[in-house]
Amino acid sequence: MQPFTDLHAKAAPLDVPNLDTDRIIPKQFLKTVEREGLGKGLFYDLRFDPEGRPKPGFVLDDPKYAGAAVLIAGDNFGCGSSREHAPWALLDFGIRCVIAPSFADIFYSNCFENGLLPVALPQADVRALMAEAKGGNHVFSVDLAAQTITAPSGQTFRFEIDPARKQKLLAGLDAIGETLRHGQAIDVYEMRQALGRPWLEPT
C-alpha cells in the first residue's frame, strides 16, 4: 500500500450529500477483484448518460480540475453497501484524500486499509474549502503528520484522526502489512507450538 505523508494537489468540489457507494462505483463494475481499471466507473451515473455519453458539467471531467487528488464532498459520504471497490475506484482515478463533514463507518474504515485518507471536518470548514476549490486550478496541501489542510488562501484547518490509523497510513501498512511486521515473532510462536504441542501439527 502506498504511504500517505503529505499531498499537494488541486481539489475538486463535489457538493452532493449522501453519495452512497453504488453511486461512487455502480454494481456493474464489481465483477473484478482487481484494483486497477476501476477509475473508469467512478461516479459513472453522474458522469455518463444511459448510452454512455459524457454528461456536461460534471466536476471531475472539467479540464480545470484535471489531476485533482483531493475531493471535497458532502455530508455522509460513502453510505450504503460496504463495497471495498469504492475506495479502490477513487484511488484508481487519482483521488488520495476525501474531505467531508461525515463518512459512513464502513467506507471510512475501508479507506484506511487502502491508503486513502478520509478527513472529517466541521460543516463550516468544509464549506470554506469548497468555496476555494470552486475557483479551480489551486493547490491544496494535506499534511497527515501535522494533521492539517492548507487552502490556497493560506487558511489552515486541523483535523483529528485515530493515532493508530495515522501511523499505518504514514507507513503504508494495511492489515496484512501490519501483521507481516511481526513475522519473526509469529515464526517463533509457531515453532514453540510445534515443539511443545506436536499433536496439534497436521500430519
The full set of domain ranges for the chain reads: 6-172
Sheet holding 117-120, edge to edge: 11-14, 70-73, 97-100, 117-120
- The full DSSP string for 93-111 is HT--EEEES-B-HHHHHHH
Q: What is the DSSP letter of 67?
A: T
- 83, 104 contact by CB (below 8 A): no
**Among 73, 82, 111, 87, residue whose Cα is nearest residue 35:** 87
Strand ranges (E), 39-96: 70-73
Q: Are 129 and 149 in contact (CB under 8 A)?
A: yes
What is the per-residue burial (b if ≥16 Cβ within 10 Å, else e) of 137-154?
eeebbbebeeeebbbbee
How far, in Å, CA of 14 to CA of 133, rounded?
10
What beta strand segments (E) does the chain contain? Answer: 6-9, 11-14, 70-73, 97-100, 117-120, 140-143, 148-150, 156-158
* Cβ(72)–Cβ(14) below 8 Å: yes
Residues of the chain with pLDDT > 70: what percent?
87
* Tens digits of residue pLDDT in 76-115: 999 998 889 999 999 999 999 999 999 999 999 999 999 9
What are the cell numbers at 97? Answer: 484524500
Model's pTM, two decimal places?
0.86
Q: Quickly count: other Cβ atoms within 10 Å of residue 16's Cβ.
A: 14
* pLDDT the model gives residue 1: 84
Domain at 6-172: CATH code = 3.20.19.10
- Grid cell for residue 47: 458522469
Tens-digit pLDDT profile for residues 101-159? 999 999 999 999 999 999 999 999 999 999 999 987 689 999 999 999 999 999 999 99
